[in-house]
Structure 1
Amino acid sequence: MQTSSIKKIGVLLRPSTPELKSSYYKLEKIFKKHNINVYVDSISAGMIDVMGMEFEAMCQHVDAIVTLGGDGTLISAVRRSFKFGIPVLGVYAGSLGFLADVNLDELDEFVHKMTQDKVRVDERSVLEVKIVGKNKELETNAFNDMVLTRSTISNMIHIETLVDAKPFNTYYGDGVVVSTPTGSTAYNLSCGGPVIFPLTEVFALTPISAHSLSQRPVVLPGKFSIEMKTPQNKALVIIDGQDMHEIEQGDSVHIRLASAKAKLIHREEFNYFEVLKQKLGWGDHR
């Protein structure tokens, strides 16, 4: 897409951070200087005492979403705006994120470049998650990961997994992380899963505290579909660490890559490997 066509943006602020008010005004001033109209999500607006617009209505009205906060704010914005197909720009308030890579001091120059199509729009895979139970069916999306885990600390969980409707594996332990490439550096990584280049069309299945040492992470091509069942347990489905759904014994969870992609606006020189080195301390021998 051409970023020069962006004339209206919607802003989402990190929740429970009213001290972002001055940063929001600075951001608003920069975009208006470049003849881009600014709207703000109603919850964010209430937090800093300005007029706002309900999030979904805002998504229908604007050309892009801009988040001010960290990666968590950006992930929430991507997931909630995904069905509208609009790009998201992450401006970080604090330290550099894996996803939010522009700070307020750089924003004026960045927006100038954006109006000249001198920035990048990366397309990233998103999980489509469907929970099917006896009396319910729920569909949602995950930008980072979907975690299927035990509902009580005292019991291990037993997860039967099928790939393209064929038996694949049975996990016994604390649960399984199904991660997108973008989410590979989040909970997946802390569970021993692989780091995956973010623009690939694959996903990873990584067991959490598996009862057997033979259970290892697996990377699967994005064309496959996954089905998970918990025949012996109730369980929790956690989406991007932000939304939680309880499932009953025997319910099933269906996961695949969505046909559409999430769009992230980055600096033209954005280098994923430099961010990895900085965030993970690679090459640091101290």
Structure 2
Amino acid sequence: MSQEKLEKIEKAGFVLKPDSPEIRPNYERVREAFESRGIEVLLAERSARMIGEKGMPFERMCVESDFLVSLGGDGTLLSLVRRSYAWHKPVLGINAGNLGFLADVTIEEVETFLDQLFSGEYRIDHRLMIAGHIRKASGAKIEFFALNDVVISSPVTSKMVIVNAAIDGERFNSYRGDGLIISTPTGSTAYNLAAGGPVVYPLTKAFILTPVLAHSLTNQRPLVVPADFRIELDTEKYEAVATIDGQERYDLEEGDVVTIGGAKEGARLLHRKERNYFSVLRDKLHWGERNW
């Protein structure tokens, strides 16, 4: 576990759940808790416009903030982590709905968490990030980052894709089916889990390759590989798309190659010190519950 602490606790940069102006009362409540403890709240321009307030450009907010805060759900946090990756600021997820895997501090817990923040009773987890790019057949290069996963699938529901996979230049499999998920341990509880992939402890340095509804007489199993391997994927015969964290989408043509590796630095997530990952699994997935 990392013993890293924040250098300063003076300015927090906020991003709110998009297209949700009804979040304003929760934001005002959280902002009051921050400001009452002497923390200046900086609000990203797009979020500010949504609730009728003044904000600042996202890039400037990232530069000036000591840490960043997503107010919404896990999707809001995923987007913030990707967009702010270049600044490597710690990110706190405040959940405005149900308990999330990532945004685990509730509105009701904010004041207690802030007191813990000032007393050093918190932790900063370093989560593996995917650093990838798409090399188009034309020679163009599209770079991306992902915290959860990269999914190669058909743009049309229930249409098959063929995904050829290589690890460190060695071709090892062709996946025929509805798609292929390349997940981080953080994303192992997302689409990977729904597709039958394993849950992997989030601080593990590994990638999980999980086929989606394989069209094969042979048993295509999920595969876990070290994160220092380079994974290359290409598609053939059928149309395909690459979806990043379920939020960004890129069309793939035959001859395009998707390359995936571990980013040099991981995402830095702020958590309550007492947060226990296995308790979250039990609560979210209802593990250990009796059926009577």
TM-score where L is the length of structure 2: 0.95
Conserved in 2, the CA contact under 8 Å of 1:89 and 1:264?
yes
| Aligned residues of 1:41 and 1:52 also touching (Cα < 8 A) | yes
C-alpha contact (below 8 Å) 2:163/2:235 kept by paired residues: yes
**In structure 2, what is the equivalent of residue 182 of structure 1?**
186
Change (3 A) 1:203 1:266: same
Secondary structure class of the residue paired with 2:255: coil
Matched, 1:257 2:262: yes
State yes or no: 1:156 paired with 2:160.
Answer: yes
CA displacement at 1:139 relative to structure 2: 0.4
CA contact (8 A) 1:4 1:114 kept: no
Match of 1:80 among 73, 80, 83: 83
SS in structure 1 of the partner of residue 236 of structure 2: coil
1:280 aligns with 2:285: yes
Q: What residue is the counterpart of 1:44 in the other structure?
A: 47
Root mean square deviation of aligned Cα: 1.2
- Which among 222, 226, 233 is matched to residue 228 of structure 1? 233
The letter of the residue matching 1:67 is S
Q: What are the residue-to-residue correspondences of 1:112-123 with 2, within 5 Å?
A: 112-123=115-126
User: What is the SS of the residue equivalent to 2:229?
Assistant: coil
Look up the equivalent residue of 2:19 and give its one-letter code.
S
For residues 106 and 155 of structure 1, what CA distance do their matches in structure 2 show?
45
- What amino acid does structure 1 have at the position aligned with 2:148? N
Q: SS of the counterpart of 1:114? A: helix
Structure 2 counterpart of 1:68, from 66, 71, 79 = 71
> Among 173, 177, 186, which residue is 1:173 paired with?
177
TM-superposed deviation, 1:222: 0.8
Q: 2: distance between equivalents of 1:285 and 1:226?
A: 41
Secondary structure, aligned partner of 1:52? coil
Q: Spell out, residue by residue over 1:141-177, the C-alpha distance to the aligned partner (whole angstroms, 9 max, x if none).
A: 0100000111334641111110000011110111100
Whether contact under 8 Å (1:8, 1:63) holds in the other structure is: yes
Question: Which ranges in structure 1 are unaligned for 5 or more consecutive residues?
Answer: none
1:264-275 to structure 2, matched below 5 A, reads 264-275=269-280
The CA distance in 2 between the partners of 1:250 and 1:4, in whole Å, is 46
Equivalent pairs counted in the alignment come to: 286
Q: Is the 8 A contact 2:5 2:123 kept in 1?
A: no
Q: In structure 2, what residue type is equivalent to 1:255?
A: I
1:126 deviation in Å?
A: 0.6
1:227 positional shift: 0.2
Q: In structure 1, what is the equivalent of residue 128 of structure 2? A: 125
Alignment-derived partner of residue 248 in structure 1: 253
| Distance in 1 of aligned mates of 2:86 and 2:75 | 19
- The question of whether the paired residues in 1 share the 8 Å contact of 2:137 and 2:254 is answered with no
Matches of 1:56 and 1:177 in 2, distance apart? 31
Amino acid at match of 1:65: L
SS of the residue corresponding to residue 223 of structure 1 reads coil
Is 1:105 aligned to 2:108, yes or no?
A: yes
- Equivalents in 2 of 1:276, 1:153: separation in Å? 30
CA contact (8 A) 2:158 2:178 kept: no
What secondary structure, in the 3-state scheme, does the structure 1 residue paired with 2:175 have?
Answer: strand
| Residues 127 and 267 in structure 2, CA contact (< 8 A), matched pair in contact too | yes
Within 2, Cα distance between the matches of 1:230 and 1:6?
47
Unaligned runs of 5+ residues in structure 2 are: none
Deviations 1:234-263 (A, max 9, x none): 310000001111011110000011110100
Residue 95 (structure 1) aligned to one of 89, 95, 98: 98
Partners of 1:189 and 1:90 lie apart in 2 by 22
User: Of 22, 26, 29, which residue of structure 1 is paired with 2:29?
Assistant: 26
Is the 2:128–2:185 contact (alpha carbons within 8 Å) kept by the matching residues of 1? yes
Instruction: Calculate the TM-score normalised by the size of structure 1.
Output: 0.97
Q: What secondary structure, in the 3-state scheme, does the structure 1 residue paired with 2:151 have?
A: strand
> What letter is aligned with 1:197?
Y
Deviation of the 1:4 alpha carbon: 5.8
Amino acid at match of 2:39: I
Describe the SS at the equivalent of 1:129. Answer: strand
